Structure 1
Amino acid sequence: MDETASVRLTDAAAGLLSRLASVHGPLMFHQSGGCCDGSAPMCYPAGEFRTGDSDVLLAELRVEGMDEPVPFWMSRGQHDLWRHTRLVVDVVEGRGSGFSLEAPEGVRFLIRSHLV
């Protein structure tokens, strides 16, 4: 896990993760910065997105009431650009990518970043 960047959740994001986990089981995030997902964090059932040497595990996010942490992965290229930031996963209204589990909820996960 990379200690130079930290990731935390807003209360809204934690609540949404808890609801999604009750339906889909253990979850994971991946943020690629690619064109298709617009650099939004994508939420998947744990293990559905294959990570590898081109990805960095930034955090294992703990959510009250969830048995397992939610790993937060980022592509190495994106991490190289954002390595000096603190990341906050939030939720906003509006439809995000159809690949992320929250898409049918009418909301989307969003990253807010702060330079350190």
Structure 2
Amino acid sequence: MAPRTRRVEITDRARIVLRRMIEQHGAVLFHQSGVDRDGSAPRCLPIREARIGGADVLLGTLPWHTEFWVGAEQYERWKHAHLTLDVLDGRGCSAETPEDTRFVIKSRLLTDEEAAALADGGPPRTGADRLA
């Protein structure tokens, strides 16, 4: 059986920071609205503070059932991309991260095989699906 194609992955260092975020804040999710000027800084929010809109798109799930959501406009820019969540040194505009780090996105184009596998899986879930 072939491994499942994923649109979002996470580096080992980001996985460690994510775990610490969950320990500190409880369950979290990521949201990228597309308003960041370079499009690379997702917000990490405690679930109780997160607001997912009906047009937002679920790109994938990270460890510990952590969802990664993007706004509809950002999805249009990234629908042909594979994303990797990483961390860099320095503060960002998310929930307080440990060790003076911030989450960032690195992207590459999906391969033809990845794009076909994702298309076979049907359309991604949206915030409207989440609210139903």
TM-score range, shorter chain: 0.7 to 0.9
Give aligned-pair identity as a percent: 44
Which of 101, 104, 109 does residue 110 from structure 1 map onto?
104
Relative to total residues, which structure has the larger helix share, 1 or 2?
2
**Distance between the aligned counterparts of 1:84 and 1:95, measured in 2?**
29
Larger Rg: 2
Q: CA deviation at 1:101?
A: 1.7
* SS of residue matched to 1:57: strand
Q: CA deviation at 1:95?
A: 1.6
Structure 1 unmatched runs, 5+: 63-67
Equivalent residues of 1:60, 1:71 under 8 A apart = yes
Letter in 2 for 1:107: T
TM-score, structure 1 normalization: 0.82
Matched, 1:89 2:99: no
Cα distance change, pair 31–48 in 1 and its aligned pair in 2 (3 A): same
Equivalent residues of 2:17, 2:98 under 8 A apart = no
Equivalent residues of 1:5, 1:87 under 8 A apart = no
TM-score, structure 2 normalization: 0.72
| Deviation digits for residues 49-69 of structure 1 (CA, Å, limit 9, x no counterpart) | 21122200111112xxxxx41
Aligned residue pairs, count: 106
* SS of residue matched to 1:78: helix
Relative to total residues, which structure has the larger strand share, 1 or 2?
1
CA RMSD of aligned residues (A): 2.1
Letter in 2 for 1:27: V
**Distance between the aligned counterparts of 1:5 and 1:85, measured in 2?**
11
Cα distance change, pair 38–103 in 1 and its aligned pair in 2 (3 A): farther
